[in-house]
Amino acid sequence: MVNTIHFISGLPRSGSTLLCALLRQNQGFTAAMTSPVASLCSSLHKKMCGGEFGVFFDDARRTAILRGVFDSYYSEVQPGQVVFDTNRTWTGRAALLRALYPDSRIICCVRETGWIIDSVERMLAKNPLQLSRMFNFEPGASVYSRVETLMNSEKGLIGLPWSNMREAWFGDEAKRLIVVPYDHLVSAPEKVLRSLYSELGEPWFDHNFNNVVYDEPDYDALLGMPGLHKVRQKVEHQARKPSIPPDLFTKFVQTHFWEKPELNLRGVRIL
């Protein structure tokens, strides 16, 4: 049974896989890249609230069944271990998570939008003979049309989680958020992790920032983007120039609401 659980969410290509790779060095933690738990919960939640069988469920039964999804998926977790479940949609379900796990926190990995787009484009360039699932395996599109797809607020790789996070940031559950900027994580990983441990009330573990191991080759191959979730062995900031047109890089500079103190109306913790 899952007793202590937290959630990793936020924006894509913003360090969530790296954070999981670091956290899983601690034998008291269970963490990995995106899990199917959020999708399973969505399907069950819909079944329990509509259709011919909806009448058989009250809130207590819904809670028990949804928590049962976590208990079943993480059935191999040892008693006392802390679970970190990753999915970019969790910020859009902050109230539900509060109802299921009142003591849980949502860790949001963020990064400047231009660099996220740049990271996606670099992955595409590394695999020119592959077609990506995130663009419906369609060939021949330009970077401008791909950006429109990425930024779609209903289903885009960047637009949907950005919208979800903005909703949580300004909502009543904002106090549950812990924001981890990508640049902070790669430039000062020990400082960020020490702050995270403190926020979660967990005893410090000495991490090895020079030997980080994580890869999901089968999942990445299914997406048509080999290497998407492979992390570099050493955690460090690597300076580089953008590979996308400068107008695209600067187009979204106003979307980084977490960088504006005047918009942090709920006092969200930023590490």
Q: Is the pLDDT reported for residue 250 higher than 70?
A: yes
- Asked if residue 242 belongs to a domain, the reply is yes
Tokens of residue 143, six digits: 């970077």
- d(Cα 147, Cα 170) in Å, to the nearest integer? 26
The DSSP result for 256-267, as a single string, is: -GGG-GGG-TT-
- d(Cα 228, Cα 5) in Å, to the nearest integer? 26
- Asked if residue 52 belongs to a domain, the reply is no
The confidence band for 10, taking pLDDT boundaries of 50, 70 and 90, is very high
Beta strands in 101-167, from DSSP E residues, in sequence order:
106-110
CATH for 151: 3.40.50.300
- d(Cα 35, Cα 33) in Å, to the nearest integer? 6
Q: Is the pLDDT reported for residue 137 higher than 70?
A: no
- Asked if residue 23 belongs to a domain, the reply is yes
- DSSP-based three-state secondary structure for 264: coil
Of the given ranges (27-31, 110-114, 231-235), which has the lowest mean pLDDT? 231-235
How many domains are there within the chain? 1
The DSSP result for 25-54, as a single string, is: TSTTEEE-S--SHHHHHHHHHHHHHSSTTG
Q: What is the pLDDT of residues 28-81, one digit of tens each?
A: 999 998 999 999 999 999 989 887 888 888 999 999 999 999 999 999 999 899
- Asked if residue 50 belongs to a domain, the reply is no
The torsion angles phi and psi of 229, rounded to 5 degrees, stand at -110, 15
Whole-structure pTM value: 0.93
